[in-house]
Amino acid sequence: DLQEPTRKMSTSVGADSGRVYLLETEKETRKKFGSAVTDSGREVRRGEGKEGVANLIGIYAVATGKTEEEVEAEFEGSGYGDFKKAVADAAVEFLAPVRERYPEIREDEGEIERILAEGASRAREIAAGTLADVRAAMGVGRDLRHDSFHQVTAFSTKEVNEFGAPSLITRMTNDVTQV
């Protein structure tokens, strides 16, 4: 958040002036960076009490592909005004491809739906294996790979103390997946 740099980014908290939107105008983006909260100093560096400057350094680093150390070195001796202008320029340039292609992409509603459905399908495939492993390890739920319910394996306190919970979970997983 450009106005409250110690706050985590949120769409429900904070002012619009602290957020940069992908589809806002370049002028709006530049204005937001120009009014970004910093501190009363002049040094472009990270440190205690310099959360606003650190936030801008991070944004500039991402937008330009530089490290935060390189950003600090680049702006050594510069004031906040020059730095904020450079951050705004970098952000505008970074967002330009999205802003330029948006109208073209948004025009084809069917293609958007197809891409979303394809992504959801891939996500389900990836998650299914992990979810099955978790269910097997916990001994609960349906194993969709084998279309059967897991049986809960009970261990005595002596076994838990002797083998440890992680190795027993591994044993449970191996027992269930061999079914």
Please report the pLDDT score of residue 174 as a whole number: 47
**156 has a pLDDT exceeding 60:** no
- Cα separation, 109 vs 24, in Å, equals 21
- Cα separation, 83 vs 78, in Å, equals 7
Structure tokens at 150: 């897991």
Q: Is-contact 60 87, C-beta < 8 A? A: yes
Structure tokens at 57: 């350094």
Q: Which among 41, 62, 64, 67 has a CA at the least distance from the CA of 53?
A: 41
The three-state DSSP-derived secondary structure of 119-161 is: HHHHHHHHHHHHHHHHHHHHCCCEECCCCEECCCCCCCHHHHH
3-state class (DSSP) for residue 175: helix
- Cα separation, 31 vs 53, in Å, equals 16
| pLDDT-based confidence at residue 176 (cuts at 50, 70, 90) | very low
- Find where tokens 């009970």 sit: 154
| pLDDT-based confidence at residue 136 (cuts at 50, 70, 90) | confident
Q: What is the mean pLDDT of the chain?
A: 80
Please report the pLDDT score of residue 168 as a whole number: 46
- Cα separation, 39 vs 48, in Å, equals 11
- Distances from the Cα of 72 to the Cαs of 48, 79, 140, 163, in angstroms? 15, 12, 52, 52
Please state the rounded mean pLDDT for residues 44-71: 94
| pLDDT-based confidence at residue 13 (cuts at 50, 70, 90) | low
